[in-house]
C-alpha cells in the first residue's frame, strides 16, 4: 500500500469515527395521538433518507396519516416547506441561510441525517489524482446544491481557483449526471449518493481519492437536514414529534446493521442491492449538523455571494434540534 493510500485510510477512519461518536439511543415510543392527524411529508429519493421507507405504516400506529409529496431536489422541498405545502421534509443544510436571506422564518431545521466522505467521481479514462489535475477538465455540477456548496467551499479553503476547471451546470436529478458522464459530456461530477456509487459500480467512473471535499470548516460532512414549516411546529407539533421518533428509530436500526441499511436503501430508491450495498458503506447515518455549523455555512454563503445578506445569526436561529435531543436519551 502506498503512502498516499495509507494517509487516505487514516483520514477515513478519523472522519467516520467522528460521524458516529455523537449517536444516542432512542427513547421510548410516545403514545398515539388522541385524535387523528394528517402530516404532509416531503420525500427525496436518496440513500441517506432511507429511514423514510416505511414512514406511512409506522405513523399509522400513532394515529397519523401521511400525505406524500415527492421531490427530486432539496430546493423544491425547501420551496414547499416555505409555502406550507408540506409539513416536514428533508432539505439541504444551507437552505436555512437561503430562507433567512429571503426574510422567512417559516423553515425550522430539526436535525441532520448523515454524513460521508465525498470524493470527486471521475469518468474512466480521465486522469484526476490531485487538485492540479482539474485544469482544463469539464466538471458536472448542480449549482446551489448541498454537495456543490461542499465542493466550492473546499476549493476556497484549499486555495484552489474555481476557474481551474470548466463547470457544466446540470439540471434535474442524478440520472442526468450519469447520462452526461456516459456520453462523455463531462470528465467528472460533483454528485450525491446513490448516483456516485452507481457510476462506479457500472464501470463508468472511479472515485478520485485525492479530491475529498466533505471536510470544509464552513460546510462539514452533513448530507441533509430534516426540517418542518413553522406552521407545522405550531399547529402539528406532536405529530412532528412522532414523525421524528419513527424516523430516528429506523435510522438507529439501519446504522447498526449495514445489510439492513442497504436493503432499505434499495427498496426506498429502487436501485439494485449490489449498488446500495456499496453506497451504504460510504454513508454513516445520524446527523452531524450543529447550530454553529449552520452559522458557519451562512457566513460563508454571504462572503461568497451565494446569499446577498449576512444572515449567519438569523440562519442559526432557525435550527432547533431540541425535540430531537428530547427523543434521544
Decide if 9 is inside a domain.
no
Instruction: Read off the pLDDT of residues 215-233 as tens digits, 9 standing for 90 and up.
Output: 888 888 999 999 999 999 9
User: What pLDDT, on a 0 to 100 scale, did the predictor assign at position 9?
Assistant: 39
Bridge partners, residue 141, by sequence: 169
C-alpha radius of gyration, the chain, whole number? 19
User: What pLDDT, on a 0 to 100 scale, did the predictor assign at position 13?
Assistant: 39
> Has residue 18 got a pLDDT over 80?
no
Task: Judge if 225 and 294 occupy the same domain.
Answer: yes
Task: Judge if 185 and 152 occupy the same domain.
Answer: yes
Bridge partners, residue 42, by sequence: 69
d(CA 285, CA 223) in angstroms, rounded, equals 9
Decide if 12 is inside a domain.
no
Q: Which domain holds residue 247?
A: 22-115+221-327
Task: Judge if 293 and 246 occupy the same domain.
Answer: yes
Residue 85 per-residue DSSP state = S
> Has residue 78 got a pLDDT over 90?
yes
User: What pLDDT, on a 0 to 100 scale, did the predictor assign at position 171?
Assistant: 84
Decide if 80 is inside a domain.
yes
Task: Judge if 200 and 293 occupy the same domain.
Answer: no
> Has residue 22 got a pLDDT over 70?
no
Average pLDDT in the 258-263 region? 96
Q: What are the φ/ψ torsions at residue 188 (nearest 5 degrees)?
A: -160, 170
Decide if 60 is inside a domain.
yes
- Considering the entire predicted model, what is its pTM? 0.85
Average pLDDT in the 57-80 region? 95
- The last residue of one of the domains, among 182, 212, 242, is 212
293: CATH: 3.40.190.10
d(CA 216, CA 81) in angstroms, rounded, equals 28
User: What pLDDT, on a 0 to 100 scale, did the predictor assign at position 5?
Assistant: 37
Length of the chain: 329
d(CA 317, CA 124) in angstroms, rounded, equals 44
Task: Judge if 148 and 230 occupy the same domain.
Answer: no
- The last residue of one of the domains, among 212, 235, 269, is 212
**pLDDT-derived band of residue 238, with 50, 70 and 90 as boundaries?**
very high
Decide if 306 is inside a domain.
yes
Decide if 194 is inside a domain.
yes
Evaluate whether 111 touches 226 at the Cβ level (below 8 Å). Answer: yes
List of residues 6+ apart from 165 with CB closer than 8 A: 134, 135, 136, 137, 138, 139
What is the CA 237 to chain-centroid distance, rounded?
Answer: 24
User: What pLDDT, on a 0 to 100 scale, did the predictor assign at position 24?
Assistant: 56
Task: Judge if 110 and 185 occupy the same domain.
Answer: no
d(CA 29, CA 39) in angstroms, rounded, equals 18
Task: Judge if 323 and 227 occupy the same domain.
Answer: yes
Closest CA to 39 of 5, 87, 72: 87
d(CA 25, CA 259) in angstroms, rounded, equals 20
Task: Judge if 91 and 171 occupy the same domain.
Answer: no
Q: How many domains does the chain have?
A: 2
Query: Omega of the bond prior to 194 within 30 degrees of 0, cis?
Result: yes
**pLDDT-derived band of residue 2, with 50, 70 and 90 as boundaries?**
very low
The residue assigned the cell 484549499 is 158
Task: Judge if 245 and 203 occupy the same domain.
Answer: no
Task: Judge if 90 and 126 occupy the same domain.
Answer: no
> Has residue 4 got a pLDDT over 90?
no
- Which grid coordinates belong to 126? 480521465
Burial environment of residue 203 by CB neighbours within 10 A (0 to 12, 13 to 18, 19 or more): exposed
The residue assigned the cell 479514462 is 125
Bridge partners, residue 227, by sequence: 89, 109
Amino acid at each position: 500500500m502506498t503512502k498516499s493510500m495509507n494517509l487516505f485510510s487514516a483520514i477515513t477512519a478519523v472522519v467516520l469515527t467522528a460521524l458516529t461518536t455523537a449517536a444516542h439511543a432512542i427513547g421510548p415510543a410516545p403514545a398515539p395521538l388522541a385524535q387523528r392527524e394528517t402530516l404532509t411529508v416531503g420525500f427525496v429519493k436518496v440513500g441517506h433518507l432511507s429511514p423514510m421507507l416505511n414512514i406511512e405504516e409506522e405513523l399509522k400506529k400513532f394515529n397519523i396519516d401521511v400525505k406524500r409529496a415527492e421531490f427530486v431536489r432539496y430546493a423544491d422541498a425547501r420551496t414547499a416547506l416555505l409555502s406550507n405545502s408540506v409539513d416536514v421534509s428533508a432539505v439541504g443544510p444551507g437552505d436555512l441561510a437561503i430562507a433567512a436571506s429571503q426574510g422567512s422564518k417559516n423553515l425550522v431545521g430539526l436535525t441532520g441525517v448523515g454524513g460521508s466522505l465525498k470524493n470527486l467521481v471521475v469518468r474512466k479514462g480521465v486522469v484526476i489524482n490531485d487538485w492540479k489535475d482539474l485544469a482544463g477538465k469539464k466538471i458536472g455540477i448542480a449549482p446551489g446544491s448541498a454537495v456543490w456548496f461542499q465542493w466550492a467551499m473546499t476549493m476556497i479553503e484549499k486555495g484552489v481557483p474555481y476557474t481551474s476547471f470548466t463547470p457544466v451546470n446540470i439540471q434535474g436529478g442524478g440520472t442526468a449526471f450519469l447520462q452526461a458522464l456516459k456520453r462523455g459530456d463531462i470528465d467528472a461530477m460533483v454528485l450525491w449518493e446513490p448516483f456516485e456509487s452507481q457510476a462506479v459500480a457500472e464501470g463508468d467512473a472511479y472515485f478520485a481519492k485525492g479530491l475529498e471535499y466533505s471536510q470544509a470548516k464552513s460546510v462539514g460532512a452533513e448530507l441533509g437536514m430534516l426540517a418542518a414549516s413553522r406552521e407545522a411546529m405550531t399547529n402539528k407539533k406532536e405529530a412532528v414529534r412522532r414523525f421524528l421518533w419513527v424516523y430516528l428509530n429506523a435510522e438507529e436500526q439501519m446504522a447498526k446493521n449495514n445489510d439492513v441499511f442497504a436493503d432499505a436503501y434499495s427498496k426506498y430508491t429502487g436501485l439494485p442491492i449490489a449498488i446500495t450495498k456499496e453506497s451504504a458503506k460510504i454513508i454513516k447515518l445520524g446527523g452531524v449538523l450543529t447550530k454553529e455549523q449552520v452559522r458557519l455555512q451562512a457566513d460563508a454563503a454571504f462572503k461568497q455571494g451565494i446569499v446577498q445578506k449576512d444572515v449567519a445569526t438569523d440562519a442559526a436561529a432557525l435550527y432547533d434540534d431540541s425535540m430531537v435531543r428530547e427523543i434521544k436519551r
